[in-house]
């Protein structure tokens, strides 16, 4: 159940993040978006433009979210970038940027939101990793490594923040979003269900982990990948 909850979503302007915002709002929760891009809806007042790698900007955006919603009891860290190259041609600038967004960005938002989450009765953090963290592809070392680190970070936080704050992570497979439009190798042949996911299919899994129906679930790694991890 999500009715009445107050949820902050990073990367909520497009893709999985936008689908998550739509699902949780449809289920009666408030949602506040932080995104590096400008809002696709100029009239959406529950939106802050901020780069998750900039902690000062994140702090301001999180404070605004808490003010707008009168608190925060859920956080979804979706903001992320892809990228990587084979070992011998590693681009260090790209490596640093991928880790800054995918790992440090997740840390920054959680740090800024933690004082508000601690005030909630049943707070929940859901981090978004990737199926590539479980079954990597060649040439995506930076992305796979950063997303694998999110798994360890999630389970560490689950131990540190229990019992008041639950922390879980979802690992989507290929999803029909702009991030993979040009990734021809990410097709349905890799999946037991023979297709890639719709963003809302990942969003509904995130919504479950945010809500009270998952009140006894923390520290889990949930693949939402059409069976790729076993297929």
Catalytically active residues, by annotation = 143
Q: How far apart are CA 163 and CA 201, in angstroms?
A: 28
**DSSP summary character for residue 178:** G
Query: Would you say 165 and 119 are in contact if contact means Cβ atoms under 8 Å apart?
Result: no
Complete edge-to-edge strand list for the sheet that includes strand 165-172:
47-49, 30-35, 6-10, 74-77, 123-128, 165-172, 221-224
Q: How far apart are CA 77 and CA 161, in angstroms?
A: 16
| 169 DSSP β-pair partners | 127, 221
87-107: b (≥16 Cβ within 10 Å) or e: eeeeeeeebebbbbbbbbbbb
């Amino acid at each position: 159940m999500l009715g009445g909850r107050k949820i902050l979503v990073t990367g909520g302007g497009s893709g999985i993040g936008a689908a998550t915002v739509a699902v949780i709002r449809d289920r009666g929760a408030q949602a506040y978006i932080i995104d590096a891009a400008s809002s696709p809806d100029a009239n959406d007042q529950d939106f802050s433009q901020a780069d998750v790698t900039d902690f000062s900007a994140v702090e301001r955006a999180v404070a605004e979210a808490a003010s707008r919603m009168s608190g925060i009891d859920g956080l979804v860290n979706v903001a992320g970038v892809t990228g990587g190259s084979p070992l011998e041609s590693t681009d260090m600038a790209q490596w640093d940027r991928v880790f800054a967004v995918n790992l440090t960005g997740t840390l920054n938002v959680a740090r800024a939101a933690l004082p508000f989450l601690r005030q909630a009765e049943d707070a929940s953090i859901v981090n978004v990793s990737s199926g590539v963290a479980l079954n990597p592809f060649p040439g995506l070392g930076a992305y796979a490594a950063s997303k694998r680190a999110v798994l360890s970070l999630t389970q560490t936080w689950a131990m540190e923040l229990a019992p008041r704050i639950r922390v879980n992570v979802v690992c989507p497979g290929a999803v029909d979003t702009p991030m993979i439009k040009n990734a021809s190798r990410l097709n349905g042949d890799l999946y037991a269900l023979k297709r890639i996911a719709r963003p809302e299919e990942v969003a509904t899994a995130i919504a479950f982990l945010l809500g009270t129906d998952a009140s006894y679930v923390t520290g889990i790694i949930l693949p939402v990948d059409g069976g790729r991890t076993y297929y």
